[in-house]
Structure 1
Amino acid sequence: MNEKKQSGKKRLFLLVLVAFGIVLWITFTNLNRIALRHTLDETIGFVKIRLEQYETDAANDRVKSLVRLLDKTVSLGNEMTLKEGFGTQDLDAFAEEQRLTGALVLDENLNVVMQTTKGGDAMPLWEKLIDSAYVRNIVEYPKKTYSARLEENGILYDFAAVARADAPGILITYIQKDNEDIGDLTVDSLLRNFPLELSGIATITENGRVISSNSSEQIDKTTEECQELYNETCGAAEDGIVRLTSNQGVWYGSKEYTGNYTLFVFFPASQVFMTRNIVCASYLAIAVMVFLMALLWQTKMEKDALRQHQKRTGIITALGTAYTSISLVDLKKNTVEIVKSASDTVEKQKRFALKRFVQQEQIDKIIAEPYREEYLAFADMTTVAERLKGHTSLALAAQTVDKKWILTLITPQRKDADGNVTAVLVATRDATEEKRREQKQEDALRDALAAAEHANKAKTVFLNSMSHDIRTPMNAIIGFTALATAHIDNIDLVKEYLKKISVSGQHLLSLINDILDMSRIESGTVKLDNAEVHLPDVLHDLRTIIQGNISAKQLDLYIDTQDVHHEDIITDKLRLNQVLLNIVGNAVKFTPAGGTINIRVEEKPSARSGYATFVFSVKDNGIGMSKDFQAHVFDSFTREQTATRSGIQGTGLGMAISKNIVDMMGGTIAVKSEQGKGSEFTVTLDCKVCAESVKYQPIPGLKGTRALVVDDDAQTCMSVSKMLREIEMEADWTTSGKEAILRAMEAHNQGADFKVYIIDWLMPDMNGIETVRRIRKVIEPGTPIIILTAYDWADIEDEARQAGVTAFVSKPLFMSELRDALTRKEVSGRQPLLPKHGDYTGQKVLLVEDNELNREIATAILEEAGLKVDAVEDGTDAVARMTEAAEDAYDLILMDIQMPKMDGYTATREIRTLRSNKKANIPIVAMTANAFEEDRQKALKAGMNAHIAKPIDVNILMRTLDKIFKQNP
């Protein structure tokens, strides 16, 4: 009977494994089809976008080309008017300069007066067109123009016609167009080398012919030829997915119609159902292994049951040595046999009936009230067999009425043929001392766990909060280091990059110094370090640090100021930078590529005397935030779900840190946001100003003159124009480069030239350099033209100066910088790397440093300052060198602290004990990464004269050397 049950269980288990395998096959087949549908939709959608982009680019190119040709035709008419005796040679020269295929000069009767062409007589080519009404009307209505893209004999031409300015008649110009002139994106290149998921094939056909495909075999073939090429047979469509059988296997895909094009996208079945095949194959292998293991386990259990039966006879004896009372309960007969009693006076009974009410009375008499109900349920013999299933024993500790603890153990003693428990042993012993030790251990563990969790949380909060702040300047340092390496021969450019690396490095060093100051973290307090700050430096340093991330995501950055009259304020520059970097960093992180970020600084009057209110706003058009999340945006570890779903990384600490810093600075921070439209953070701070508002005087030679501001951001135009009016210049502005050129020409023709041009570098219709190049053709040569930009101009500086740019100014533009740009003169020559310091020529230094790179850096700095440097690698070497050296061998020792054989403190103490008084009293300066105040005190106690923290700050090093050599000439 038992064997039949076991056999039935085996068959049932095998059936379950097979059924689950079938479910897996069906489920993953459907999932793969859903994924295929999604991939098809995305791929076809992308190709449609590419087609639309191609058609849009082609249309835009045609319009731009015709507009340029009209401009050239008008320019030809102006040259014919201005130059007396304009002849065929002049016409040839103009056509060559403007890269025209040909030009025709017609009189009022439409007869050719003059022509130049690369293909002989051009009149027959355009005779029908010239004779048309819309071209003839130009003679009668000279203000009319005509331009068109035409095809003649299979060749594309751009054609333009305008009225002659020097006499009645018409000027005609034309340019032969090549396919390459239409733009980089062409139909036949849409899918060339297109990286398609799942190794599929994408094809575009028009009028039954393949015009583009990522498979070179299909290009320029008809649809029927492609079917013959692959020996294709299409199956029925299911859920919009077509099954295609070919000599290359089975494919699944779809086709779509868009305009005149038909799109085909197909993927091999092996790729489409790869997940299903892998999962099902893996499951089959696992299922076979599990079934075999189950058979082996069943055999083992049968053997173990036999051995267990042999051991049961020794259980009672083993329990008897540890437990004070033992009873054997027969569950089938409902009887109890006392094997061992806690009291020798109690007469042992071989067997008696188990009665529930008697059992409850005994429990009420012995067990304390809070544990009675649980103990009664534990001792319920009607349920014990079920509770023992899957367990080797049951145990329960309970407190007695006399405040002691007892441990009761229930173990199986006998089982029937089906494995059901039929008899159990119930053993009880005193566990008071054990329970006390356990409770003590639990309390200790609980306290240790709470302390560990607190410490771990503090560490996690600390590390996560600093991660973002450290990575931002590191990105700038690494990026500008790579740029400096790439432009190593350009000294001025390398100097600019090194300056930006220094700014980011100083910011990073400040952050690291705060990280090392563990006492402030543990106490939960941060001390503000208020000092004089030049506000333009804050904004330009911020731009330098974030520029790499802005460029990487191809974002548009706008920075401007409004009514900033106090450029020098008292505040904590590091904390202000930290707040602005957190906000701008989030704007960059949550703004998709191609988005816009606006940073504005505005000064407002303050109610406090000697103070001004500064409003820093950062606005983006990114993903925005929900109204519910805005209420928690400044809480620690809070992040919008849309950010987490999109995979944007972050800790959720940046805004909480910023809020705490702004609160400490006595300011406010607020946010306005809307999902899908972006966010705007506003920080308002009352800052003490360093001086009264500066009234800038007019610039000699520019007072009352006209200036033109050109920037696609109207707010920037108005802000710069307001500054110009404050120094008594007449400011005008426009948001278009093309309009700026026209206004420059108009002003010049009227004799009222603009004396200053301030032009943005990047504008949508025409960039600043091209705008400058065209304006230079019509204005006076000495007129200053300033490029205004929020980006690094180093790569385009040469081109810009060749175009006529006289100066560059970074956004945001402050009044002091505007006046400097208008009055500065160009300077040249390399600036000194080191700050001014005393003359150390001939002084000899012993450098003790175990790190090779640190030795190289320190040696280079010291030698550039004029010192002679000897270097050793350990404290033992330093002591040996000083012992053996002459008294006047060295004037100074720079000593590292942490070294492998002998640390700097020990080495200093050893040197101070030398017999030579001069050597024993040589100045020793600690140069170490141990930057705490206690480390400085420890160095002085060890006998050192000064302490310099790593990384080496050149200014601090030079000041220390000045002090040392002044005291010890």
Structure 2
Amino acid sequence: MFTLIFVGILIFSLLTASDNKKLNRTLNETFDFVKTRIESYEIYDTNDQVKSLVRLMDKTTELSRVIAQEGNFRAEMLDKYAKEQRLTGILVLDKKLKVIEQTTRDGDATPLWQKLIESDYVRDIVEHPEKTYTTRLRNEGKLYDFAAVARQDASGILIAYAQKEEVNEINGDLTMASLFSNFPFEMNGCVAICDEDKIVSTNKQNLVSSSVEGAKSLYENEFKSGGNVIVHLRSKNGNWYGRQEKIKDYNAYVFFPKHQVYITRNTICVIYALLALLIFLFYRVLRNRTEKRSILQDQKRLRVINALGHAYSSISLVNLKTEEIEIVKSSKDMKPDQQGDILSKAHLEELIQQVIAEPFQEAYWEFVDMSTVAKRLEEHETLSFTAQTVDERWLTIIIVPQGYDKDGKLNTVLVANRDMTEEKEHEIEQDKNLRNALAAAEHANRAKTAFLNNMSHDIRTPMNAIIGFTALATTHIGSTELVLDYLKKIQTSSQHLLSLINDVLDMSRIESGSVRIEYTTVHLPDILHDLRTIIQGSVYSKQQDLYIDTQDVFHEDIIIDKLRLTQVLLNIISNAVKFTPVGGMINIRVLEKPCRREGYTTVIFSVKDNGIGMSPEFCKQVFDPFSREHTVTENGIRGTGLGMAITKNIVDMMGGTIRVESEVGKGTEFTVILECETSAVTVKREPIPELKGARALVVDDDAETCMSVSKMLREIEMTADWTTSGKEAVLRAREAYEQNQEFKVYIIDWLMPDMNGIETVRRIRMVVGPESPIIILTAYDWSDVEQEAREAGVTAFVSKPLFLSELREVLMSPEQRKLIQNENQKIQAASQRSYAGKKVLLVEDNELNREIATAIMEEIGLNVDVAEDGTDAVNIMSSERGSNYDLIFMDIQMPKMDGYTATREIRTLNSTKCANIPIIAMTANAFEEDRKKAIKAGMNGHIAKPISSEVILENLDQIFGR
């Protein structure tokens, strides 16, 4: 009875807590909903305000522009504009913030806006005309939008303002009052949103627009807040439970009626009371039966002890209450206490540590934990445990119920153990053999079943097509077009059937050793371009992105079996296309690395996709014959499961390695590494005379492609820059052109994310003109866009992957060489501008730099004298010789007197001609701040080293007005 009462109290408490928890959860969800609704309202209100202010700013800016164009801001013109744009008023202010003209519906608006006009925000616009100011505010009880911009016709400010209607339900806007109107809350709850002392939104009509104090009167003045703690309210309408929270600037109240909050607790408690009475009566009946059962169990216990005595080496009785251990039968490992056949707990611990192996000790202690034995034996008749001893024997320990107290509770158990080493070792060996046999059988069975299923399905599919279309062709033998169509489909199905048979035969030939590798000289570009041609149709049909590029490929001709290498790569690439969904990406990369074997090189082929990927388990067996992952068959992708097995065998026969990295849903990457003998044929790497030292710009959204092409350009002694952005390429082309350091060649990728290659070419042509060669680099067929590209200014096309031999070939084509020669002639023509007779003084402390600069200047007809330091230049210009010079080229960093100091000294000379002689800085300091510093020191120009005749001529043109 005590237990039932205690359980009843516990159930009551738990259900009360559960209902409170449910109430809290409901309150939290309700407050979250309330918060969301309030935030939606505020976002709506804010967006409405922002849109209104932006429209007002546009109107004000437009008016400022109109006034500047027409030079007219008379009152009539302002009245007309305000009426057309639905403005309340317009103010025109001068730079002293005085109103010189206005139009308004409310008379003189100057007092209305005087404080805002004098604010820092508005004043700041006079000093910074690019700034603007907008705001929404309440002025004299009315709501206005206000905007201020700088006048474009003169110094001053133009202000426009418009009166706004209050947000309400009449004009169709979202309002606070309508947020919860007639909204049904769970458990018929009540929600009230208060702004200070007024209820602004609620789902109870009787509380709409009432004050908080007025609402409190309905609850007998006990309407109070409570944070996250549930508040109990008593009112004329009954008891309510809920709480109050602060949400932004509002106080939110949510309450629910008591009878609905605790309906679960009250119902269950009534049911429990009836059930507890029945349990108590049933308990009395069972107790009488338990006493009779106890006698029978004692008899059974004696029989168990007698039986165990013959089979087990040691037997003990354990009292569960006192944990005393009485030895019934001892083994050689047991050491009873001196008091008799009683084993103490300390001796038991010592015995376990000495006998039981360490890995099993913790589990053994858990098994012999007498505090849990009674509970464990409630579900089992006996408990058993097997452990290994320190001398590698196996013991089995068994716990059997032995005695019960008068209440029927277990108080004594029998613990026995026996040696079962032989049985355990036999069991382990048998289990191991069974597992190995099972794994081998399952693997063989799976491979066999998968192969038969796949071949049955894959062969029947084209066979059905062949048989079906043959029957149709026979039926429609008189229709030539239909028969031709059916024959084409029969041919397609036959080719597919033939490929399946070839896979099986190839695997059979490989396993029989009849396949031989035939080594010949192979041109790598031919293999990759052939592969691209073969797979282009499949890639295009699935709208996939195909990227093929090379990196550090020095040997384009290698000795290998071309047919088998193509077969390996085609198998891998075909799988990439097949298992990559529509719109996916396939990246093929060829990389060359040095090889330790003399006369050999390491060629690495990488094929990466972002397709369906493979599980880690299948990656381990992807090269096994007939292996197909279940996701492939589920997706209906055809195949025999032999392709990768054939690929692996061919790679092995060529002495290479193949590895795979994959992740389900993210894609797969296959890498083939081959050590190939290099051919005696080498790629021409000598420079092209017209392009030796010329600048080139590479544009591709893949940085590694840019670096690879740039490296090829440097191989033929060109200067290469690169960028991954079409927009940046246009900027760099413009910058180079303005600095007379134009790029002679542009190599631009066709498809780029920010700006495609054709548009990039079009914009570069607008900067550099028609002379420079611009080559489009693409992995796709360019025939569809060739006309558009030519019109945009493209001079040549080249396919990816790009090799050095192909790049050099396209640059040496007659068309490109003619463009380069025209460009060079243009530069030579510029260099022939005559400045013969001009005498210049070159101030340079470095002997080599003096020699180079003197040679360049003399080539363009200048008479050059030299000075080794700034002091020498000042002395020369101070003497009579100074008037003989037309120009000074001044180095900046010199040991005795730097160029800045020398320039300032020359500018103070008495001779007007010498003091005003043009001085051009010629320095390695090439930054913008260095140029500004030179101008500040009194120089007329700035040339960054290394110098060129074109740059010198350009500066001479600026100085002498050419």
Which TM-score band applies after superposition, normalised by the shorter structure? 0.3 to 0.5
Q: TM-score, normalised by structure 2?
A: 0.35
Q: TM-score, normalised by structure 1?
A: 0.35
